[in-house]
């Protein structure tokens, strides 16, 4: 093992070894080799981060809008300047194809900062005149103080900054923890913030596991809000710990999203996008359309074509431009995803293509899985009810719109749905009846950062994005002023 790579905490503007004196291995999923070590912080590290944030809050919450916005804009620009290095780190940490990190995800992290640098100036407070009573109400939107941001490994810097940028824009100081599986780009963000002139202590990054660093954040009394993205089971735990402390809480959790294809759709677009929505990032995007429902008249044709397109995908080392599918993030996750091949067989489903691990010559220790399409007989099976979070999709036909609505909603999740049809009336009927926070029609993963983002049911509580995020990270205070007529 090379001990060259040390991923440290970033507290009060400085990189620091963990006070816990504990370390974790940083593993490269493309070859299974240990590439460095990661600080595994505990409550002492979180306390140090909170002390720094507490001192910095007075300064940051009193910067002018123009200063704050200018620093956030610089952070976004510096992410772009460091695009290549950040993309290499992201790909090596997560196993995702380098091109995906460079072309989509790291640029989105830059956009997150630029977007909130500008959105904060549109964040108007409301006022209401109490007519006839000689009084006027106005609402101050004050920062909460110190807030905690906890993010997952699947879109590391993208989701980390999606929380941090609005929290900072609203005037808060932040304690942020990336996933222990993908700590590198979060670590690099500290230096970028220093170069952009962010005052020390405003953003503090603690590295480490959820049970140690994350739990300490949930429990710290000075952290006033938790913005969490991760699995539903973890979200439930977070909610239990945070509720008695009355911290503000936002939860963005798992999904089991329907991808619905009607016979009148633009067939080629639906097919090409379905390959993307099934297998992008090895199927490790909470928004992937993992349950594909196809209207009966085109079912057999779509099945044949989807399988053919899936077989054309190229599983390979993430650094190579020809690799469309990289490695799964970790050995435990790889094993969990592979175990669903056995579940499919036990449930009497048919594996149409894929169905097992993939071997990448020269990288036999890597965590590669073949993209897999499985035909299921019913929606009431584990394959269609549990979030697998890997390159496995299920396929089944439907006959009527009423049946489809039942199938789409017959799951405990409610994050997103995609509908492929040219019928506007049907689009509107389904959009109202499908219980998901995000619905795409004739597209997938198209994001406008001004729109509310989040899930219903077990997919989460609250919304991120645009003004919703700025509302979450501020406390509304109403002031009623009476005047003499
Ligand atoms: P996870 O729940 O295991 O971990 C998420 C984060 O929570 C990590 O940083 C982890 O260290 C931390 N954590 C774990 N235990 C904790 C605890 N006790 N206290 C505080 N923090 C703790 O999820 P994951 O495996 O990293 O990510 C995959 C999941 O995230 C999938 O379910 C996916 O659907 C979901 N996800 C949801 C969205 C969304 O926007 N809804 C986006 C991306 C991923």
> What confidence tens digit (pLDDT) does each residue in 88-126 have?
999 999 999 999 999 999 999 999 999 999 999 999 889
Q: What percent of the chain has pLDDT over 70?
A: 99
Question: Among 210, 250, 256, which residue has the most ligand 1 atoms within 8 Å of its CB, making it the best to mutate?
Answer: 210
Ligand 1 contacts CB of residue 97 (under 6 A): no
Asked whether the predicted pLDDT for residue 220 surpasses 70, the reply is: yes
Q: How does residue 2 score in pLDDT terms, banded at 50, 70 and 90?
A: very low
Ligand 1 contacts CB of residue 177 (under 6 A): yes
DSSP codes joined into one string, 444-470? SS---TTS-B--EETTEES-BSHHHHH
| Average pLDDT in the chain | 97
CB-CB contact of 328 with 284 (8 Å)? yes
Asked whether the predicted pLDDT for residue 4 surpasses 90, the reply is: no
Pick the residue whose CA is nearest to atom 10 on ligand 1.
Answer: 210
Ligand 1 contacts CB of residue 415 (under 6 A): yes
Residue 151 C-alpha to ligand 1 middle, in angstroms?
6
Pick the residue whose CA is nearest to atom 23 on ligand 1.
Answer: 230
Q: How does residue 26 score in pLDDT terms, banded at 50, 70 and 90?
A: very high
Ligand 1 contacts CB of residue 240 (under 6 A): no
pLDDT of residue 485: 86
Residue 153 C-alpha to ligand 1 middle, in angstroms?
8
Ligand 1 contacts CB of residue 387 (under 6 A): yes
- Condensed to tens digits (0 to 9), the pLDDT of residues 31-76 reads 999 999 999 999 999 999 999 999 999 999 999 999 999 999 999 9
Ligand 1 contacts CB of residue 220 (under 6 A): no
Asked whether the predicted pLDDT for residue 133 surpasses 80, the reply is: yes
* Nearest atom within ligand 1 for CA of residue 230: 30
Q: Kindly list the strands in the beta sheet with 135-143, ordered across the sheet, starting from the edge strand earlier in the chain.
A: 127-130, 135-143, 474-482
Q: What is the Cα–Cα distance from 285 to 105, expressed in whole angstroms?
A: 12
Q: What is the Cα–Cα distance from 230 to 234, expressed in whole angstroms?
A: 7
Q: What is the Cα–Cα distance from 122 to 198, expressed in whole angstroms?
A: 22
Helix axes 156-169, 65-81, angle to 10 degrees: 170
Ligand 1 contacts CB of residue 458 (under 6 A): no
Asked whether the predicted pLDDT for residue 444 surpasses 60, the reply is: yes
Catalytic pick among 173, 286, 288, 381: 286
Catalytic pick among 92, 180, 252, 295: 252
Q: Which helix (H) or strand (E) holds 91?
A: helix 83-94
Q: What is the Cα–Cα distance from 340 to 93, expressed in whole angstroms?
A: 24
pTM, full prediction? 0.98
Ligand 1 contacts CB of residue 328 (under 6 A): no
Question: Among 43, 160, 234, which residue has the most ligand 1 atoms within 8 Å of its CB, making it the best to mutate?
Answer: 234
**Exposed, middle or buried by CB within 10 Å (0-12, 13-18, 19+), for 231?**
middle
pLDDT of residue 3: 52
Residue 353 falls in the annotated catalytic set? no
Residue 1 C-alpha to ligand 1 middle, in angstroms?
28
> Up-side HSE of residue 364: CA atoms within 13 Å toward CB?
1
Residue 165 C-alpha to ligand 1 middle, in angstroms?
19
Ligand 1 contacts CB of residue 150 (under 6 A): yes
Pick the residue whose CA is nearest to atom 12 on ligand 1.
Answer: 210
Residue 271 C-alpha to ligand 1 middle, in angstroms?
30
Pick the residue whose CA is nearest to atom 22 on ligand 1.
Answer: 210
Question: Among 231, 236, 239, 254, which residue has the most ligand 1 atoms within 8 Å of its CB, making it the best to mutate?
Answer: 231
CB-CB contact of 5 with 340 (8 Å)? no
Residue 274 C-alpha to ligand 1 middle, in angstroms?
25
Helix axes 106-119, 156-169, angle to 10 degrees: 10
Residue 150 C-alpha to ligand 1 middle, in angstroms?
8
Ligand 1 contacts CB of residue 371 (under 6 A): no
Residue 126 C-alpha to ligand 1 middle, in angstroms?
35
Q: Closest Cα partner for 473 from 484, 483, 461, 465?
A: 465
pLDDT of residue 1: 42
Collapsed DSSP state (helix, strand, coil) of residue 173? strand
Q: Closest Cα partner for 404 from 368, 381, 431?
A: 431
Beta bridge partners of 106: none
376-390 burial by CB neighbour count: b if 16+ within 10 A, else e?
A: beebebebbebbbbb
Q: Which residue has the tokens 């804009």?
A: 73
What the block records as the tokens of 396 is 């089944």
Q: What is the Cα–Cα distance from 291 to 386, expressed in whole angstroms?
A: 10
Q: What is the Cα–Cα distance from 274 to 218, expressed in whole angstroms?
A: 38
> Up-side HSE of residue 173: CA atoms within 13 Å toward CB?
27
CB-CB contact of 167 with 114 (8 Å)? no
Pick the residue whose CA is nearest to atom 40 on ligand 1.
Answer: 252
pLDDT of residue 125: 86
How many C-beta neighbours within 10 Å does residue 406 have? 13
- Condensed to tens digits (0 to 9), the pLDDT of residues 229-246 reads 999 999 999 999 999 999
Residue 252 falls in the annotated catalytic set? yes
Which residues, including other chains, have CB under 8 Å from residue 179's CB and lie 6 or more apart?
151, 152, 153, 156, 230
Ligand 1 contacts CB of residue 252 (under 6 A): yes
What are the Cα distances from residue 286, in Å, to 97, 282, 307, 384, 410? Answer: 17, 11, 22, 15, 18
* Nearest atom within ligand 1 for CA of residue 177: 9
Instruction: Provide the sign of the torsion angle of the four alpha carbons 57, 59, 63, 67, taken in this order.
Output: negative
């Amino acid at each position: 093992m090379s001990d060259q790579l040390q991923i440290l905490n970033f507290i009060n503007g400085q990189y620091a070894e963990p006070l816990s004196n504990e370390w974790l291995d940083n593993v490269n999923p493309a070859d299974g080799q240990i590439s460095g070590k990661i600080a595994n912080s505990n409550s002492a590290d979180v306390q140090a981060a909170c002390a720094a944030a507490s001192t910095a809050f007075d300064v940051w919450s009193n910067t002018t809008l123009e200063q704050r916005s200018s620093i956030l804009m610089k952070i976004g620009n510096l992410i772009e300047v460091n695009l290549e290095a950040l993309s290499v780190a992201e790909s090596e940490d997560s196993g995702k194809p380098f091109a995906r990190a460079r072309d989509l995800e790291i640029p989105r992290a830059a956009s997150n900062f630029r977007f909130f640098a500008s959105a904060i100036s549109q964040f108007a407070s409301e006022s209401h005149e109490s007519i006839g009573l000689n009084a006027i109400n106005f609402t101050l939107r004050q920062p909460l103080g110190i807030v905690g941001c906890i993010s997952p490994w699947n879109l590391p810097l993208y989701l980390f900054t999606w929380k941090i940028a609005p929290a900072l824009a609203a005037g808060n100081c932040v304690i942020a923890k990336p996933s222990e599986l993908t700590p590198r780009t979060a670590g690099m963000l500290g230096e970028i913030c220093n170069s952009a002139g962010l005052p020390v202590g405003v953003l503090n990054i603690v590295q480490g596991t959820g049970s140690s660093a994350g739990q300490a954040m949930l429990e710290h009394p000075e952290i006033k809000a938790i913005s969490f993205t991760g699995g539903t089971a973890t979200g439930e735990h977070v909610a239990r710990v945070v509720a008695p402390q009355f911290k503000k809480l936002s939860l963005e959790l798992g999904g089991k999203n329907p991808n619905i294809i009607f016979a009148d759709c633009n067939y080629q677009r639906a097919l090409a996008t379905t390959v993307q929505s099934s297998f992008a990032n090895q199927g490790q995007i909470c928004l992937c359309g993992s349950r594909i429902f196809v209207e009966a008249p085109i079912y057999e044709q779509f099945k044949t074509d989807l399988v053919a397109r899936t077989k054309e995908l190229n599983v390979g080392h993430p650094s190579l431009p020809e690799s469309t599918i990289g490695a799964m993030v970790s050995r435990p996750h790889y094993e969990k995803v592979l175990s669903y091949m056995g579940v499919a067989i036990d449930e009497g489903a048919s594996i149409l293509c894929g169905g097992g691990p993939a071997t990448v010559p020269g990288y036999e220790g890597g965590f590669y899985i073949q993209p897999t399409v499985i035909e299921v007989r019913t929606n009431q099976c584990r394959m269609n009810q549990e979030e697998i979070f890997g390159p496995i999709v299920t396929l089944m036909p439907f006959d009527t719109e009423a049946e489809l609505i039942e199938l789409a909603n017959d799951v405990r999740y409610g994050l997103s749905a995609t509908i492929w049809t040219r019928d506007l009336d049907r689009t509107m009927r389904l959009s109202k009846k499908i219980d998901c926070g995000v619905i795409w029609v004739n597209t997938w993963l198209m994001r406008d950062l001004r729109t509310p983002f989040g899930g219903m049911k077990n997919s989460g509580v609250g919304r991120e994005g645009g003004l919703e995020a700025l509302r979450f990270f501020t406390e509304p205070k109403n002031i009623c002023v009476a005047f003499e007529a």
